[in-house]
């Protein structure tokens, strides 16, 4: 197996190394803080690799913390899937899984501390008024008429908010910062709202909930986070992150560092839009192999190594960019090219009868599991009188470029003999239904002396092959940037899934376990479906196509 992802230098690594060198920190503590409101996607994989990866590189720790401050949207099924994804990617969090909700009591106490310091107040402007008072990027905001309440009054009102005396939305607790700040986030941001909502973890204990900005920095500090790594959209929130921690009694002040999000062409990295694909039934669930979710990529056959490798190749910078899908696919190909055993599968079978092959004879032929890696061993192929080749690998007539089987010409069967096509049998509608061929018994592992076969094709024997369903997956969207389309659903690729239900696969694949990956020679990389594949019902998903199957395979068979 591939072992280590490269560790390129980047600005976050520089900061961490400088902090360790100067003694600012003795060790590294990071966290990955997903909101459990959907499945994780490839963008989150980047955040996971960065947070867990840096902790790992410097013998530090990374926490998994669910940012569950928004009770309406969260579901425990998502939390479970997220934890599974993190583990599958190859990371371990430190200690128990944490939840922002675990800190609700402490957060409440810190809010009271801000009130005591006259740094927070209870406002009762309506939501529209709050918005109007806030001003905009060119105009400063105005102070709320409730801004100058006494500390005692604020404390009393906040406690009564907590006790459930007021209606949802009737009052909010705001930090008292600066309504004229050029940074809108500093214009007295809300830190607590009244919301009568059941919370998965705290039940009905609370009817007030802290905002993300107030919760996140304090949760980080309570966990002793040294470097709070997040995406660029939080850059403008950093002054607030620092303001809160500077104004409460807490002895840890993590450094927030922002990096650019991972955007991938031909896909979408927004949980809201992914959710829409699922709820509208446009894909078969969050883990549909076409989805850019971690569980979708897993089901598609992408490996944790390939995903980690891809993410690190895209770099850790502040530059906003969109990565081509081929970069991800290449990481997958490279890993599977090295590690996936080879096998033969005929996706659209065409029957071939070898007239001169003895009736009832079965010959066992050895084939390497990997042409470049002997350690991966060998498998047995079974030669018989009736075999199948792919419909695409035969033409009645063809030009010189067509290096497969042609009527009257010869071709090599991969790991087996050279055959020549003598006759084509058709049905009443002129469809080719069978080929009548002869095999050359002197050509096992040897080239014929007096003629030259045109190319090498794959095959399976009729007696020693199994029926299988093969699902060919392609890009989910037709355009590079579906997220920017007015209606992203109109850019779905109608051919993102083609199901072939008559495929036949070589005998060795009958033992494939769910999630095993293979290179089906000349066809691409495939994996046994994680949920639907079993020994009685073989189901393979195409992970990614082969780049250049031809040149290589021919060289090997000579
Ligand atoms: P979405 O926009 O898909 O809903 P989110 O940012 O709201 O994503 P969170 O659950 O809050 O999702 O994300 C957890 C962490 O993953 C955050 O620190 C966030 O910055 C990071 N993250 C989310 N999307 C990406 C991305 N495309 N690239 C890198 N990191 C990301
Ligand atoms: Mg978020």
CA–CA gap between residue 453 and residue 405 (Å, rounded)? 9
Angle CA 424–427–433, to nearest 5? 50
Residue 163 CB coordination number (10 Å): 10
* Interior/surface letters 70-97, b for 16+ CB within 10 angstroms, e for the rest: bbeebeeebbebbbebbeebbbebbeee
Retrieve residue 251's tokens: 């002895």
Question: How many Å is the maximal CA-CA distance in the chain?
Answer: 103
pLDDT band for position 72 (cuts 50, 70, 90)? confident
| Helical residues (DSSP H) of 170-287, grouped into ranges | 212-222, 238-247, 271-279
Retrieve residue 467's tokens: 């029926």
pLDDT tens-place string over residues 46-63: 999 999 999 999 999 999
Please provide residue 273's backbone torsions phi and psi, each rounded to the nearest 5 degrees.
-70, -35
Retrieve residue 184's tokens: 């809108």
- Residue 549 has what pLDDT? 36
Mean pLDDT of 472-501: 95
Residue 119 CB coordination number (10 Å): 17
Quote the ligand 1 centre to 188 CA distance (angstroms): 25
Quote the ligand 2 centre to 308 CA distance (angstroms): 21
Exposed / middle / buried, residue 20 (Cβ in 10 Å: 0-12, 13-18, 19+) = middle
| Closest ligand 1 atom to 272 CA | 4
pLDDT band for position 76 (cuts 50, 70, 90)? confident
- Residue 555 has what pLDDT? 53
Helices (H) and strands (E) in the chain, counts: 13, 29
- Residue 70 has what pLDDT? 85
| Closest ligand 1 atom to 36 CA | 10
Exposed / middle / buried, residue 434 (Cβ in 10 Å: 0-12, 13-18, 19+) = middle
- The answer to whether the CB of 522 falls within 8 A of the CB of 553 is yes
Percentage of residues of the chain with pLDDT beyond 70: 97
Length of the chain: 558
- Residue 232 has what pLDDT? 97
Q: How far is CA 197 from the centre of its chain?
A: 31
- Residue 258 has what pLDDT? 98
Q: With CA atoms as reference, report the closest residue to 248 among 316, 173, 175, 307.
A: 175
- Residue 441 has what pLDDT? 96
Please provide residue 192's backbone torsions phi and psi, each rounded to the nearest 5 degrees.
-140, 140
CA–CA gap between residue 284 and residue 300 (Å, rounded)? 13
Mean pLDDT of 390-417: 96
Mean pLDDT of 452-469: 97
Mean pLDDT of 94-107: 97
pLDDT tens-place string over residues 310-360: 999 999 999 998 999 999 999 999 999 999 999 999 999 999 999 999 999
pLDDT band for position 1 (cuts 50, 70, 90)? very low
Question: Which residue from 32, 47, 278 has its CB within 8 A of the most atoms of ligand 1, so it is best to mutate?
Answer: 47
- Residue 146 has what pLDDT? 98
- Residue 200 has what pLDDT? 87
3-class SS letters over 475-539: CCECCCCHHHCCCHHHHECCCCEEEEEEEEEEHHHHHCCCCCEEEECCCEEEEECCCCCECCEEE
pLDDT band for position 101 (cuts 50, 70, 90)? very high
Give the mean pLDDT of the chain.
95
- Residue 5 has what pLDDT? 55
- Residue 547 has what pLDDT? 75
Query: Which numbered ligand comes closest to the C-alpha of 74?
Result: 1
CA–CA gap between residue 407 and residue 300 (Å, rounded)? 37
CA–CA gap between residue 205 and residue 197 (Å, rounded)? 10
Residue 558, pLDDT > 70, answer no
Q: With CA atoms as reference, report the closest residue to 323 among 334, 333, 312, 339.
A: 312
Quote the ligand 1 centre to 5 CA distance (angstroms): 22
CA–CA gap between residue 527 and residue 514 (Å, rounded)? 8
**Ligand 1 interacting residues, C-beta cut-off 6 A:** 33-35, 43-44, 46-47, 230-231, 261-262, 269-271
- Residue 8 has what pLDDT? 78
Write out the catalytic residue numbers.
35, 261, 271
Q: With CA atoms as reference, report the closest residue to 435 among 402, 408, 417, 466.
A: 408
Q: With CA atoms as reference, report the closest residue to 8 among 229, 312, 260, 227.
A: 312
CA–CA gap between residue 369 and residue 244 (Å, rounded)? 59
Retrieve residue 514's tokens: 């769910």
């Amino acid at each position: 197996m591939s072992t280590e992802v490269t560790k390129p230098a980047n600005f976050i690594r520089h900061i961490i190394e400088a902090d360790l060198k100067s003694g600012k920190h003795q060790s590294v503590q990071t966290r990955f803080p997903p909101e459990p409101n959907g499945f994780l996607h490839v963008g989150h994989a980047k955040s996971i690799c960065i947070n867990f990866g840096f902790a790992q590189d410097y013998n530090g720790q990374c926490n998994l913390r669910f940012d569950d401050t928004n009770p309406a949207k969260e579901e425990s099924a998502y939390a479970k899937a997220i934890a599974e994804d993190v583990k599958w990617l190859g990371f371990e969090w430190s200690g128990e899984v944490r939840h922002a909700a675990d800190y609700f009591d402490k957060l409440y106490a810190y809010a009271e501390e801000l009130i005591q310091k006259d740094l927070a107040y209870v406002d009762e402007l309506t939501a529209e008024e709050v918005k109007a008072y806030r001003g905009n990027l060119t105009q400063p905001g105005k102070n709320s008429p409730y801004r100058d309440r006494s500390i005692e009054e604020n404390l009393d009102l906040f406690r009564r908010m907590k006790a459930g005396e007021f209606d949802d939305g009737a009052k909010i607790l705001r930090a008292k910062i600066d309504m004229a700040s050029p940074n809108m986030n500093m214009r007295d941001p809300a830190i607590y709202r009244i919301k009568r909502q059941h919370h998965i973890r705290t039940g009905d204990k609370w009817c007030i909930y802290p905002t993300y900005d107030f919760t996140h920095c304090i949760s980080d500090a309570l966990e002793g986070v040294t470097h709070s790594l997040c995406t660029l959209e939080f850059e403008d929130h950093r002054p607030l992150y620092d303001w809160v921690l500077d104004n409460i009694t807490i002895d840890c002040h993590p450094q927030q560092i922002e990096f650019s999000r991972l955007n991938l062409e031909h896909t979408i990295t927004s949980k809201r839009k992914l959710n829409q694909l699922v709820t509208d039934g446009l894909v078969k669930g969050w883990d549909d192999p076409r989805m850019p979710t971690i569980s979708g990529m897993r089901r598609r056959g992408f490996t944790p190594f390939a995903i980690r490798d891809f993410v690190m190749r895209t770099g850790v910078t502040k530059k906003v960019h969109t990565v081509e899908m081929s970069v991800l696919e290449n990481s997958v190909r490279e890993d599977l090219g090295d590690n996936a055993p080879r096998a033969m599968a005929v996706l659209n079978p065409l029957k071939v009868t070898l007239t001169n092959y003895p009736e009832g004879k079965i010959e066992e032929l050895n084939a390497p599991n990997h042409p470049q890696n002997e350690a991966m061993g060998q498998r047995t192929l079974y030669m018989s009188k009736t075999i199948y080749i792919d419909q695409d690998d035969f033409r009645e007539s063809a030009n010189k470029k067509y290096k497969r089987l042609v009527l009257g010409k010869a071709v090599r069967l991969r790991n087996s003999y050279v055959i020549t096509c003598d006759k084509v049998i058709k049905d009443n509608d002129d469809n080719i239904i069978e080929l009548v061929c002869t095999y050359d018994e002197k050509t096992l592992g040897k080239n014929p002396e007096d003629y030259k076969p045109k190319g090498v094709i794959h095959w399976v024997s009729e007696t020693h092959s199994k029926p299988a369903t093969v699902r060919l997956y392609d890009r989910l969207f037709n355009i590079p940037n579906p997220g920017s389309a007015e209606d992203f659903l109109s850019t779905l690729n109608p051919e993102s899934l083609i199901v072939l239900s008559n495929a036949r696969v070589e005998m060795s694949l009958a033992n494939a376990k769910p999630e095993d990956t293979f290179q089906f020679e000349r066809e691409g990389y495939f994996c046994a479906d994680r949920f639907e594949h079993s020994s009685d019902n073989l189901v393979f998903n195409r992970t990614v196509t082969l780049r250049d199957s031809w040149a290589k395979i021919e060289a090997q068979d000579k």
